[in-house]
Every structure is written in C-alpha cells, then in structure tokens.
C-alpha cells in the first residue's frame, strides 16, 4: 500500500495530563502534515516544540488526544497493527536492556514484530550499523555511539517502509554522524521514506528534501528545503577589513556590528537591500575587503522571519 503520502496527519492534538505540581501540557495543538513517499523529510524545531511527541505518536508509544494519523495508508485507529508494521523508529532516548547483546536485542525486536526466523536479517543489520564485532557483547559495555547504532538496527528489523530518526545526531561524534548519514542516504535510495527531527538548521538543509518547521506544538512552515531557506530574508554578510576602518559603512536598512576579531557583520534584509548595495556601502566607507562570507541564519531568526511574513499576509 502507501500512496503519494507515506504519512498523513490531520488535526493532531496531544495534551499531557497534569502530573504532581505540573499543570496539563498541550504539546501538539492541531497539526496537519502530509509526508511524501520516498522523501527525506525534516521536522525542525527548538527543544520543547513537540517533535518527539509527534514521532512517538507515530510510533504508537504516546496516545494522541485527538486527530487522525495514517501510516502507509493505514489509519492508526482502524489498523493499528499494519500501521505499526510500516514504520521503524529510532528514539531520542538511549533505552536499551543492558543485559541483551546486540544480536539478542535485534532477535527479540524481530520477534516482537512477528518477523519469521527465515526472514530475519540480523547479520546484515549488524553489518550495516557496524556492530559485527560487538554482536555478542552485553549492551551495557557498549559506548554511547554503539548504543545509538544498535537503536538504528532495531528500527530496521521488520523492514519498515518508513524510518523515523528522532534527533539522531544530538551529542554524537563526527564519525558516527557520517555513518548515520551514509546509511540514511543509502536506505532512502533503496526506496525507504525517511523522517528525521533536528534542531539544527544546517542538518535539515544538508539532508532533507522537504522541511516542516514546528514551534509550540504547531507547524509554522512547510516547504521544499530550497524554497523554505529562500524565504529567510534576514542575511548577514561578514567582512574582514584589510585594515581597521576609520568610518563605518552606512546604508538604509543595514545594521553594522563590530566584532571583537575586527570583522564587520552587516545585517540586512535581502528583499529591501540587495547585496550589491551592502558592498557599495562598504566601499563608500573606504574599506578594502580582505575576506567576505555570509552567515547562516539561526533557527530563532527563521521563526521570527516566518512568523513576521505570516503576520503580514
């Protein structure tokens, strides 16, 4: 099954019940989201935005308060077993039984999903995530990076159509990050739909075809990665002057920030001020440029930008 959309989410709400002194918490406040089959889809948002809540509802680990979720064409409430079978989730938390070996953990997981022995690919998965050498070591002896790889392996045991990775690279070293991205790209090339959450704009930019930005439990933007980043109007050009400037550049709509290392950061809005006008102002101030670069907007800028644009609509 599975049509153009691997996942369809309509008016999804989640309110966590009151707990001790904590009041009830609305984590998702009516999310509508379609995730295209075959894509690498990014759910981008700051800590506390509701990303893990959304993922855990998809995984069947958190019960939604209201709304409809369909996975690979199966409504979660009507066909819970089929919808669960279509998706594999690598959770954010490193929750592993310390007394299982990687091989054992993969076998148990396959059993839970009802994968017959003849169809299990335990050795293949161990190889894929680079744990052949540790196949028979207790999980408690594995490093953090190895545990994360084992969690990826567990998400794959039942050959899911959709793989979900919740903050896969938070706190991991560069080597593991590379390994994860290589695996994710390969799985996607083989036809798997990938959903990943991150609070790093760069990561979403590098990996994802499409992005939804989620903030305070609501989707505030959803577009192709290129179009979404193109909508970010706030730009920063960083100039390293050849010698200390005697006057600062001045132009309408340009804010100049002098940095400790002698660089000048020029903040401007691309729709209002073309990059040439910014450079002209630098030259007009008699500054010769030894180096120039642009700085990526951070996530906070993106939210401000997108909410500002929406408010103006």
Of 212, 214, 170, 172, residue with least CA distance to 195: 212
Tell me whether residue 9 or residue 126 sits nearer to Mg ion (CB atom): 9
Q: How far is the CB of 138 from Mg ion (least distance, A)?
A: 28
Strands 264-269 and 255-258: what pairing? antiparallel
Sheet with 234-241, edge to edge strand ranges: 255-258, 264-269, 234-241, 289-295
Which of the residues 2 through 31 are near Mg ion (CB under 5 A)? none
139 binds, among ligand ADP, Mg ion, none (CB under 5 to 8 A by kind): none
The verdict on 83 binding Mg ion (CB under 5 A) reads no
Tell me whether residue 24 or residue 114 sits nearer to ligand ADP (CB atom): 24
Q: How far is the CB of 199 from Mg ion (least distance, A)?
A: 8
2 binds, among Mg ion, ligand ADP, none (CB under 5 to 8 A by kind): none
Q: How far is the CB of 31 from ligand ADP (least distance, A)?
A: 11
Q: How far is the CB of 47 from ligand ADP (least distance, A)?
A: 4
Tell me whether residue 131 or residue 195 sits nearer to Mg ion (CB atom): 195
Tell me whether residue 76 or residue 197 sits nearer to Mg ion (CB atom): 197
Q: How far is the CB of 42 from ligand ADP (least distance, A)?
A: 13
Tell me whether residue 47 or residue 247 sits nearer to ligand ADP (CB atom): 47
Binding site for ligand ADP (CB under 6 A): 16, 25, 27, 45, 47-53
The verdict on 52 binding Mg ion (CB under 5 A) reads yes
The verdict on 215 binding Mg ion (CB under 5 A) reads no
Q: How far is the CB of 312 from Mg ion (least distance, A)?
A: 31
Tell me whether residue 41 or residue 74 sits nearer to ligand ADP (CB atom): 41
45 binds, among ligand ADP, Mg ion, none (CB under 5 to 8 A by kind): ligand ADP
Tell me whether residue 58 or residue 129 sits nearer to ligand ADP (CB atom): 58
Q: How far is the CB of 46 from ligand ADP (least distance, A)?
A: 7
The full 3-state SS of the chain, as one line of letters, equals: CCCCEEEEEEEEEEEECCECCECCEEEEEEEEEEEECCCEEEEECCCCCCHHHHHHHHCCCCCCCEEEEEECCEECCCCHHHHHHCEEEECCCCCCCCCCCHHHHHHHHHHHCCCCHHHCCHHHHHHHCCCHHHCCCCHHHCCHHHHHHHHHHHHHCCCCCEEEEECCCCCCCHHHHHHHHHHHHHHHHCCCEEEEEECCHHHHHHHCCEEEEEECCEEEEEEEHHHHHHCCCEEEEEEEECCCCCCCCCCCCCEEEECCCCCEEEEEECCCCCHHHHHHHHHHCCCCEEEEEEECCCHHHHHHHHHHHHHHC
Q: Which residues pair with 104 in a beta bridge?
A: none
- Candidates 36-44, 46-54, 124-132, 268-276: pick the segment binding Mg ion (CB under 5 A): 46-54
For Mg ion, the binding residues (CB under 5 A) are 51-52, 92
């Amino acid at each position: 099954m599975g049509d153009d959309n691997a996942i369809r989410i309509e008016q999804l709400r989640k309110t966590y019940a009151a707990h001790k002194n904590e009041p009830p918490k609305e984590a998702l406040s009516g999310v509508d989201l379609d995730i295209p089959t075959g894509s690498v889809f990014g759910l981008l948002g700051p800590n506390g935005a509701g990303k893990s809540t959304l993922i855990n509802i998809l995984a069947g680990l958190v019960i939604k308060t209201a709304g409809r979720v369909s996975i690979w064409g199966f409504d979660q409430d009507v066909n819970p077993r089929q919808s669960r079978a279509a998706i594999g989730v690598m959770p954010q938390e490193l929750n592993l039984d310390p007394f299982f070996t990687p091989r054992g953990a993969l076998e148990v997981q396959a059993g839970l999903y009802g994968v017959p022995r003849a169809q299990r690919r335990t050795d293949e998965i161990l190889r894929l995530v680079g744990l052949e050498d540790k196949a028979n070591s207790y999980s408690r002896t594995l490093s953090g990076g190895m545990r994360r790889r084992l969690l990826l392996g567990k998400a794959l045991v039942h050959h899911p159509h959709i793989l979900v990775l919740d903050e896969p690279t938070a706190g991991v070293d560069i080597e593991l990050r590379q390994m994860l991205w290589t695996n994710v790209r390969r799985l996607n090339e083989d036809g798997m739909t990938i959903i990943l959450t991150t609070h790093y704009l760069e990561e979403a930019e590098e990996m994802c075809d499409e992005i939804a930005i989620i903030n305070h439990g609501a989707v505030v933007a959803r577009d192709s990665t290129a179009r979404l980043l193109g909508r970010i109007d706030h730009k920063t050009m960083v100039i390293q002057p050849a010698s200390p400037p005697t006057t600062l550049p001045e132009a309408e709509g340009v804010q100049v920030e002098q940095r400790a290392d002698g660089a000048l950061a020029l903040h401007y809005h691309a729709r209002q001020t073309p990059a040439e006008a910014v450079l002209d102002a630098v030259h007009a101030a008699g500054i010769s440029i030894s180096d120039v670069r642009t700085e990526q907007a951070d996530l906070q800028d993106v939210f401000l930008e997108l909410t500002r644009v929406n408010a103006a609509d």
